[in-house]
Amino acid sequence: MDTSEYLSMFLAESREHLEKLNLAVIRIEERPDDRDTLDEIFRSAHSLKGMSATMGFGQVAALTHKMEDVFEVLRERPDGVPRSTTDVLFECLDVLSAAIESIAAAGSEQLEPDALIARLAGLIEAEPVAETKPTEPDGAALVVPQPVLDAHATGRVLHVCVQLDAAVLMPSVRAYMVLAAVGDHGRLVHSQPEYEQVESFDGRRIDAWVASEHELGTLHQAVSLVADVASADVREFEPEQAAGPAPSTQPGAGRAPAEAARIESKNTSATVRVDAERLDQLMHLMGELVVDRTAVESLASQADVAGLSQAVADLTRSSQALQTLVMQVRMIPVEVVFLRFPRLVRDLSGKLGKQVELVLTGRETELDRTVVDTLGDPLVHLVRNSLDHALEPPEERRAAGKPETGTLEIAARHAGGNVVITVRDDGRGIDPARVAGKAVERGLIPADQAGSVDMVRAVELLFSPGFSTAEQTSDISGRGVGMDAVRTAIRELGGALVMTSELGQGTCVQIRLPLTLAIMPALLVEAGGTPLAIPLDRVERTLNLSQQVVRLVTGNPMLVLSDGVLPLLELSQALGYPGSDAGAYVVIARGNDRRLALVVDDLVGQRELVTRPLPAGVGDGLALSGGAVLADGSIALIVDCDQLAETGGRRLGHPHPTTLANAA
């Protein structure tokens, strides 16, 4: 059959199985007696092999099949798994991952698995597998055959009947997964379709007979969790009822888990995969709807038509509910990014000779899909830096009175309309003196200022373009890319990055990101005749400038507040636009770890804006993060408060006459 239409599904599910296998092998390396993880390994390997064979990718299927044999070795070992074995398995997983990406890019496997298959065979020969019950059928007939009756005569046989969803796209793959799940719970005596004929299966019903001592509900749940299973029935096989469904002999205590699994299977079959481009298009259209809604609201406020205001209010309520739902559809857990770190930490810590415990918290925290897709590389860079530079080798930690095993924590949590991701280690911390020395070498600061560099200044220097404290770049961290690239990537997502450290105790990097990129609540202002938008989550409050106390300090106007003194920054000039004498309001906003007092001409009000990235070359060097189309068709530029906090002071122009009058 033509499998090309199923390629996207195959690629997505293959990547998921490879991620699961990477994590599962790490867990088995740490806890070799974890039977649940071993079962998960077999299910993923079975599924990947079956899917690959069905799609015609024989090399992937062959390598996965040989890996199954090694997994069987792991299942039989009670005394742990040697690192040499898991190293080979991880190498196989890397090769399989590369093959899947090659299939995605070029449509072919580009895989030569013979050498790896030989190494896997060597592992099996070194540790022969004990005799186990076969998990594949022995070529029985398509009707209820004699082997089923024989098996029943000598023990308990369960009859599993599975009905696939009518809209299933890959019935042969699902049949393979069902039989694999059944085989994980006993000896598969016979099946319809037969195991060897699964690749050509195009039906919707799957029958299997398994010799098993498992509870009915356990087996029911296992097959019900397979995607596209509409219903499943598990009963004890009785010979006199071989021609039709047998009355369930399941005890009352077992019906509850079976029923729960049946409900769960219905929920599972109700989920569908949606192409990412369709989600992007859906969000784009939702954004257009928000713009149109704003325009209608503006026109309705100027018209005197009976019932119009109520109709517009209903439209607003409905479209806001739809907007919320569309955003929720695009949300995915940050675990998608976190899943790559156990393997990364395991490999790099071994290469560096360090002992590291990885702690992952808040995996279920959800973010917009676009944010998650872009977040991976900056986080990988931070993790590599922690492993290479921050965390010490065991002997150094022991000499410093620390546990030999260092801790690297990656955590995610919701904070209002944002998600905060923290990367924290208990390593060396930042040494201001060392940073200052490197800064002098690179000409970033004069030598006579090196002694005055404190921790705050040292952190600022670390974000200088291309700055690194490494003596030479390596393939682990640095690689000629500094922390400035990480912060730039976070800013492009509309987020902020703050680093803190304590010498000898560790370093903490905190990333604050918006939940979604496409639609953003903002305070719309005018400055220098230009509409500008300040992200609402950065706004603390607004003030009437004429009612505030302003003083000149070394020629610069300072706003005197009850909770501190802030330099006044004319927003239009700070962004490179002509200045204005009409500054009447102040917006107190947050940028990085400091507050800003932004002088604007007018406060237009709060708006929900559909954000768009700026074209290449537009706004380079300015504190702008994007733009948005307003209801009247004009463009509002979005202020980057973090960059403004760094560059705004250097752009400060002449004070307004209003400011001088108040200062006097």
Q: Provide the annotated active-site residues.
A: 46, 68, 385
**Whether 543 contacts 491, CB under 8 Å:** no
d(CA 594, CA 642): 9
Q: Is the peptide bond before 333 cis (omega within 30 degrees of 0)?
A: no
- β-pair partners for 423: 410, 509
d(CA 218, CA 226): 14
d(CA 603, CA 533): 10
Instruction: Name the token pair of 508.
Output: 């903490």
Instruction: Name the token pair of 555.
Output: 């020629």
d(CA 429, CA 503): 4
- Strands 530-535 and 405-415, by their bridges, are unpaired
Burial class for 34, CB neighbours closer than 10 Å (0-12, 13-18, 19+): middle
d(CA 113, CA 92): 9
**214 secondary structure, DSSP code:** S
CA dist list (Å): 6 to 13, 66, 163, 193, 281: 11, 25, 20, 21, 22
3-class DSSP assignment, residue 618: coil
- β-pair partners for 591: 594
Residue 619 φ/ψ region, left for φ over 0, alpha for ψ in the -120 to 50 degree band, beta for the rest: left
CA dist list (Å): 485 to 488, 489, 539, 655, 658: 5, 6, 26, 34, 40
d(CA 184, CA 179): 9
CA dist list (Å): 627 to 367, 569, 607, 637: 21, 21, 13, 4
d(CA 377, CA 381): 6
Find where tokens 């404290």 sit.
Answer: 469
Find where tokens 């809604």 sit.
Answer: 293
Burial 540-552 (b: 16+ CB within 10 A, else e): eebeebeeeebee
**Whether 385 contacts 463, CB under 8 Å:** no
Burial class for 317, CB neighbours closer than 10 Å (0-12, 13-18, 19+): exposed
Q: At what angle do helices 455-462 and 432-441 cross, to 10 degrees?
A: 50
Short-list 496, 477, 490, CA closest to 425: 477
3-class DSSP assignment, residue 191: strand
3-class DSSP assignment, residue 566: strand
Instruction: Name the token pair of 188.
Output: 């598969």
Amino acid at 655: P
